[in-house]
Amino acid sequence: MKTKLWLTGTMVLALGGIGCSDAPEAKEVSEITASRSTEMIRAASTSARVMSEMSSLESMGSAAAILQKTFGAVPLMGSPSTPCTDPKGCDSTPIVNPVPIDPTAADAQAALVEKYLKERIFIEANVEATEGDSTIFRIQGDDLCTTGERPADPDCVQAVDKLELRIRATRTDNDGLDLGFQFGAKRDEPVVLSFGKKTMAVAVDLGETKDTVQFLIPEAATALPRVMVGRVELRLTENGAQDVTFSTGILDAIRIEIDGERGGTHSFSTAKATPLSELRMDANAKRLSFELNLGTTEYKGPYGGTSSLSSQQLVYSLSGLSFEFSAEEGQNDFVIAHVGLGEAQSYMSLNGTKIITADLNALSGRHFDLNLSQGADGLPLVRVLPEFDLAAKFFMSPLKADPTAEVPSFYEDESYRVRLSGGGSPSIRPVDANTATGFPGGLQVVSGELTLQGKNASVTVPAGKCLVGKEAAAQGSHPLLGHFEARNCQ
C-alpha cells in the first residue's frame, strides 16, 4: 500500500509539472532589457564625458606626436622618410566615439531604446510560443520600422519580414537574461545578447552567421568562406557608479578558410582570448586604462602571381601582441606595460622555410615596460625596462624567383639586432634639429647604450650621443646601416 501511494504521489507531481514553464513573461523581458540597456547607456555616457575632459590624455597624445615625428626622421628602410607637406597636417583620421557624451543626447537615446523594447518588441502580442524555459517572440517589420508615431516604411517592413526574425528569451543565473536572435525557418541563431545585473554582452557565432547569410542571400553562398567557425564577444560592464569597462573577447578560436580562384586555400586563424581587450573608464578616479592580449594569429595561403612561386604556401605567423597602459588626471608620467609579441618567435615562411623571423626580448622574458615622461625641456623621455632587444632575420633571396618582387640586397640573407640596454633603465629622448650647427635632429641615448647590428656592420650609440639618419650611405658601407650614424647632439 505504501508503495502504491508513493507511486501515485510521484505521478501526480510529474503530471502537475506538465504545462508548467519557467519561461519569462513578456513584461519581465521588457522590464529587464529596457532598464539595463538604459542604465548602461547613461553610465557609459557619463564615464566617456569625464574621460574626454582629462588633460592627461592630451599630454600623452602630445608626447606621442613628438616621438612619432622624431622617429620619422630616422630612416628604417635605407632612405629618409617623406615629411608631411600638407598644410592641413598629415595626422590619421580621428577615432569616432560611439558613446554619446552629451547627457541630453544620452537620455534621448536611452528613452528611444526603452520605448522600442517596452512598446514595440517585447509585448504579449509578439509572443509566438514558449519552449521549455524560453519564450519566443516573433518580430515583424511593423514592430521594428517605426516607433508607432508614424507609418512604417514599406521597404523597411519588407526587408525585416524577409528575415523571419525571432528572439528567444531565456533566464540565466543571477537574474540574468539571454536573448537569442534567430533567423529563417531553420532558426539559425548567430547573435546572443546577454543581460546580467551590471553587464551586457553581444556574442556572435561565425558558423551560425554563415548559415544566416546563406538563408538571406542564397546567391552569395558561393562567395562565403568554406570554413567559418569561432565566437566573438563585445561586453559592457558597470563596475560602479560612473565606472564602466568595454571589453572584447574571442570566446572560441576563429578559423576561416576560403578556396582560391586559382586553387589553393587561404586560411586565417586566431587563438581564443578572453578578454582580447579591455577599456576601463573610471570617472570617479578620473582614470582610464586599456589592455590588449592577442593570441597566436596566422594567415596561410598560396604565394600567388604567375611566377614559379605561385603555388607555394606562404605563412604569416604572429605569436601574439600585448600591452597595457593607464592614465589619470594630472598625470605626466605614463607606463605602457607588458609590451610583447607573444611567447614565441613570429615569422613569415615560404613552402615551410622561414624567410623572415622576429624575436622580441627573447632572453629577457619576451616583454618590456616603456615609461614615457616629460623632461625639463618639455620633450618626452622614454625609458625601457629591463631592455628593448629586437632580433630579426631575413632570408628573402627565394623571393627573387618572382620577377615582380623587389628584394633589397640587405634583406636577401641578413640578420639584424636593435638593442637598447644597460644603465639600469636605458632611456632615449628626441633632440630637435639645429639649423645653426647643421644637426639634423635625432634620438639621444640618455642612459645605457643603443646598438644597431648586422652581420658585418654595426652602429653603437653610447650615453650622451645621438642616433641620426643620413641621406646617403658612404661608399662601401652597409646598404642599410650605412644610413645611420652616432654623433654629438648639436
Q: Tell me: the pLDDT tens digits for 155-184?
A: 999 999 999 999 999 999 888 999 999 999
Residue spans of alpha helices (H) in 85-222: 103-115, 141-144, 154-163, 206-216
Length of the chain: 490
CA-to-CA dists, residue 175 to 241, 243, 272, angstroms:
20, 21, 28
- Dihedral through CA 198, CA 204, CA 208, CA 213, nearest 10? 120
Give the chain's mean pLDDT: 86
Q: Are 335 and 354 in contact (CB under 8 A)?
A: no
* pLDDT number for residue 148: 84
- Please report, rounded to a whole number, the percentage of residues in the chain having pLDDT higher than 90: 62
Tell me the residue ranges of DSSP E strands in 260-307.
265-270, 273-282, 287-294, 297-302
Largest Cα–Cα distance in the chain? 112
Pick the range with the lowest mean pLDDT from 34-48, 210-224, 437-451: 34-48
The pTM for the full model equals 0.83
> Grid coordinates standing for 479?
646598404
Task: Enumerate residues 6+ apart whose C-beta is below 8 A from 254.
Answer: 206, 229, 230, 232, 268, 269, 270
29 has pLDDT over 90: yes
For Cα atoms 24, 28, 34, give the angle at the middle one, nearest 5 degrees: 130
| Residues β-bridged to residue 484 | 469
For Cα atoms 469, 474, 478, give the angle at the middle one, nearest 5 degrees: 80
Find the mean pLDDT for residues 351-360.
97
* pLDDT number for residue 21: 54
3-state secondary structure of 300: strand
Query: Which residue do the cell numbers 586599456 mark?
Result: 290
For Cα atoms 374, 79, 353, give the angle at the middle one, nearest 5 degrees: 100
* pLDDT number for residue 176: 92
* pLDDT number for residue 83: 46
3-state helix, strand, coil in the chain (%, to 5): 25, 40, 35
Give DSSP secondary structure letters for 430-457.
EE--BTTTTB--EEEEEESEEEEE-SS-
Q: Are 394 and 356 in contact (CB under 8 A)?
A: yes
Q: Please state at what angle helix 26-52 crosses helix 103-115, rounded to 10 degrees.
A: 170
Determine phi and psi for 108, rounding to 5 degrees.
-65, -40
Q: Are 196 and 190 in contact (CB under 8 A)?
A: no
3 has pLDDT over 80: no
Q: Are 213 and 224 in contact (CB under 8 A)?
A: yes
Q: Are 272 and 253 in contact (CB under 8 A)?
A: yes
- Please report, rounded to a whole number, the percentage of residues in the chain having pLDDT higher than 70: 85
